[in-house]
Structure 1
Amino acid sequence: MKYIFLLVLFVPFILFAQVEADPYNENLNDSLQKIFEENALKIDTLGLKVSSIIITGNKTTKDDIILREMHLKKGSKFTLKEYSEDLLNIYNLALFTKVDIIPVPMGEKEIALNVDVQERWYILPLPNAGIEEGEWKKVWLSMNLRWDNFRGRNERLNAGFRVFYNPSVSLSYFVPWIGEKLHLFMGIGGAWQRQRNRSLTAVGRESGSNTIAYNDSNYENVQYKAELTLGRYFGKNFSVFTEYKFNHLRVSQYAPGRTVSDDGVDRYITLGAGVSWDSRDINEYATKGLMFRTMYERYGFLDEEVNFGRFILENQSFIPVPITKNYYITIASKLYTSLAMGAVIPVYNHEYLGYSEDYVRGWKGKAYEGDDIFTVYNEIRIPVIKPRYVRGKDMMIVKDIPIVKNLDIRHGLYFTLIYDIGTVWYKDEKISSKRFYSGAGIGINVIAPFGYVLRADWVFRLGKPTVGQIGFSLSAKF
């Protein structure tokens, strides 16, 4: 009889486990939500112990990679809070298309946990293409060969190249957890790139002009670089890290001011250190939590002429605002600032607005340059279709693709209200004297399979002349 009681108690809980650890999940109707909330309180007061944890579905991933993400351990007390956090922790490994943790009653005061995962592809050729600043002559193609979950231990190998506009070659390796209790992490990589200069002042133009066109007189920065990152986590959210970088940069056509040295080649080492706090619910498209990161970098040590520093601060906040018991919107904001310190800041280390994804929406195509930058991106994220799983075989087109049709595909749709503001300035200028550029509009964000976010924005420039711009991207703004 006691087993039947526990089974009845866990029925809504098990159903809840099949969707997401989200108290506002729309897949639960009001009556089921009420039952779940009442039983959740009972569950936390029963003093249940976890008798065992069984991992299923992981053909490649080692058990300990999953188990180390869990607060719930064999012999520990079962709580709803830790259960919900464990679900998100495992999903945020970005190794699985779907994660379930199913409680199974084993006795009057004991339960077993079945962690059932659905692994995704780990060796991914990722082609990409784009047109910089809306110019067809700035078209580029790229290919990244990414091996996630290398050795089944959540390590990542990445080799990539880009051709046509701003070509590059890169190779990197990252391991997120070294030492069972120390929880160190490490990344190492190297790259070569030939990038068209973005500095307006280096080619005799004023900040606020149109972005430098392909046919305009310009030069290229040819750069070789290598970097090493070492860090440690203290708990789930807080980490400290250091960075070590070597840079060799030369310009294709030398002119005074394009490099700090007189021969057109700058060689320097960058040493950096910082701290980070990350409590976002879903890394790919957060709707709850906070991400804070700050660091200081020092450039120099090889050539005496290169001698400056840079302080960087980034804060992302995601505040859920409940509308009903099972529906909420998110007020999302990203603040970013970077401040240079030193006598001479080379133009290749300036901050820019207007290039690639670094622009205030509504002002794309206008280039602004300075030593320092301050931006705030804001969105109200309104779920139209809350993220959910659909079996591949139940979807058009996908159902005819081998392998994919057997996966549970995560998808969703958000409508966004947008307001961005930002400016750049030189260190001898006062920020209070600078104009802040702003834009407002609407957007659509599509939560696509395998961690992608497809974004379309329609934003108006707040200033004369008022200009509306439509933008597309394969990633969220933040």
Structure 2
Amino acid sequence: MCGISREPLQAGVRRHPCAALALSLFLVALCFTPAPAATPPQFPDSTLIESILFVGNDRTREEILTREMQLREGDPFDPRIAEEDRQRIENLGLFTRVELELLPGAGGVILLYILSERWYLFPYPLLFIHDRDWSKLSYGAALRHDNFRGRAVVVNTNFWFGYNPSASLSYTNPWIHSRHRLAFTAQFVYNRVENLSPNLSDFTEKHLGAAVGLSKRLGSDTRVGAGVGYREIHLPPELGLTRSAGGTDRIGQLSASINYDSRDYSPWPGRGWYVDAGVAHKLVLSGSDYLFAIGDVRRYQPLPGGGTLAGRFRIDWSSGRVPLYNLLYLGYSERVRGHFREVVEGDGRMVAGAELRWPLLKRRFFNLAGADQGDGYANYFRNLPFALHATLFYDAGLIADGGWSRAEQRRLGGFGAGLAVQLPYVELLRFERAWDLAGRGEYIIDMKVWF
């Protein structure tokens, strides 16, 4: 529900099945034609909203869109809130582009939302890396639907071989009860995980787990949730690393979380806040329990000229004796640029960062050659986003082992610069050069926004 101690089960997996396709599209951008520019909103003298219309949501149900909006028909028109509503619809991840036009009506203003739907159903081969490490390659197949029945329900099943072979099935319904604004998630996972600890010899962990969660939306930006889960972890019994004899630990989990997200555009935020906090109680059936808690705060401050100053602070805290398979790491899903390939472990963790982001090519939209003619599948290759940004960054990380005193800490720091390319269906591809505080440099190629 809130991202507590996911590393052993998911091992920081980053899956990008459309990366090759999207990068190819970018490299042949000369074959694209610019999409028509959005009509600048014209603010009429009318102050009431006469009607709200949607165009382009061929598969997505209208109720999925209106539930993201604060404004309703008959409300006083507020251009700031109308833009926030547009951003929330865009952040659903169902559309490549969301435009808002204001039309004069007989008794007020008409809000017209023009939508370009994404491709939703992805039967695809899997080829991806783990832990931001290109040497940890996995391959397999998956079937994912991001808008099942037009209700923004995500159904995903996959399996893969190679590094950390796995199979999983997940279901996410963001709106199971309209009156109470509830969301439901369920997941089943089986995977084999290579030992993450750099202090032990190589061995394989086997994980079998299931979890369900329920959350409630409060207002437009806040969600609270709770979840239950169960996991079995099998380790070689001769190592003596499990709480129970025989090499198998059985662990239940109770969790609670709260999340606040006011970011304007989640793939590459330019303004807003993101706050995530939660706690998970691990119930070891054959040993002593332990506890995890997290706090993650991110701020995105717009700058004159179109740039953004982004900052982040996160803490992961534990109580009780944490077993090997639930230790926290720097060097896998959480990293410090400048020490990108260095792995340190412990039972407590802090990470912080600051990043200056400046647009070299502001987000614009293109149509694939021929996609501006005809309907059907051609619609999914219209209004494809591209952007190019320059970045300057500083990262810091701390791992504590057995306590938070300075003697029990390992601290890392690094800085650098890079380029971030926004691509359709992938979101972001980053090329960076980073240095540690001793001046040793490294090159980084990675996907997704850093924070």
TM-score bin, normalised by smaller chain: 0.7 to 0.9
2:323 maps to 1:346:
yes
Distance 2:214 2:380 in 1: 40
Matched, 1:361 2:342: no
| 1:287 pairs with 2:270 | yes
After superposition, residues 330-345 of structure 1 pair within 5 angstroms as 330-342=308-320, 344-345=321-322
1:416 is paired with a residue whose SS is: strand
Q: Which residue type is aligned with residue 449 of structure 2?
A: A
Over 3 Å counting, the alpha-carbon distance change for 1:88 and 1:132 in structure 2 is closer
Which structure has the greater CA radius of gyration? Answer: 1
Partner Cα distance (1:417, 1:183) in 2: 40
Following TM superposition, by how much is the alpha carbon of 1:307 offset from its aligned partner in structure 2, in angstroms? 0.5
More deviation, 111-120/147-156: 111-120
Q: How far apart, in 2, do the equivalents of 1:284 and 1:145 lie?
A: 23
1:99-131 CA deviation, whole Å, 9 max, x = no partner?
A: 122222122x41222222111111023533237
Q: Distance in 2 between matches of 1:380 and 1:125?
A: 37
Alignment of structure 1 residues 301-450 onto 2, 5 Å: 303-322=285-304, 327-342=305-320, 344-355=321-332, 357-393=333-369, 403=378, 406-431=381-406, 434-450=409-425
The structure with higher relative contact order (CA 8 Å, sep 6+) is 2
* Aligned amino acid, residue 347 of structure 2: D
Work out whether residues 393 and 405 of structure 1, in 8 Å CA contact, stay in contact via their aligned partners in 2: no
What 5-or-longer segments of structure 2 have no aligned partner?
1-35, 372-376
Give the counterpart letter for 1:250 in structure 2: H
Deviation for aligned residue 1:436: 1.9
CA-based RMSD: 2.4
> Deviations 1:185-224 (Å, cap 9, x if unpaired)?
11001100100011234x2xxxxxxxxxxxxx41111000
Q: Which of 166, 169, 172 matches 1:168?
A: 166
Q: Which residue of 2 aligns with 1:246?
A: 230
Task: Extract unaligned runs of 5+ from structure 1.
Answer: 1-16, 21-27, 29-35, 204-216, 396-401
Following superposition, the deviation at residue 133 of structure 1 comes to: 7.5
Cα distance, 1:19 vs. partner? 4.1
* Distance apart, 1:429 and its partner CA: 4.8
Q: CA deviation at 1:435?
A: 4.1
User: Per residue, is there more helix in 1 or in 2?
Assistant: 1
Judged with a 3 Å threshold, the aligned counterparts in structure 2 of structure 1 residues 389 and 432 are, in CA distance, closer, same or farther, namely farther
Please give the secondary structure, in 2, of the residue aligned with 1:427. coil
Note the C-alpha offset of 1:306.
4.0
Give the aligned length: 411
Q: CA deviation at 1:366?
A: 2.0
Alignment of 1:88-127 (within 5 A): 88-107=87-106, 109-126=107-124, 127=126
The corresponding residue for 2:179 is 181
Distance in 1 (alpha carbons) for counterparts of 2:222 and 2:134: 42
1:470 alignment partner, one of 427, 443, 447: 443
Q: Counterpart of 2:289 in structure 1: which amino acid? A: N
In 2, Cα distance between the equivalents of 1:347 and 1:100? 49
Name the CA shift for 1:226/1:406 in 2 (closer, same or farther; >3 Å). Answer: closer
Q: Normalising by the residue count of structure 1, what TM-score does the alignment of the two structures yield?
A: 0.81
**One-letter identity of the residue aligned with 1:446:** V
Question: Any idea what the Cα deviations from partners look like across 1:120-171, whole Å, max 9, x if unmatched?
Answer: 11102353323768674x4322443210110111111011222111111111
Provide the secondary structure at the position in 2 that maps to 1:66.
helix
| Other-structure match for 1:265 | 248
TM-score (norm 2): 0.85
Contact 1:392 1:405 in 2 (8 A): no
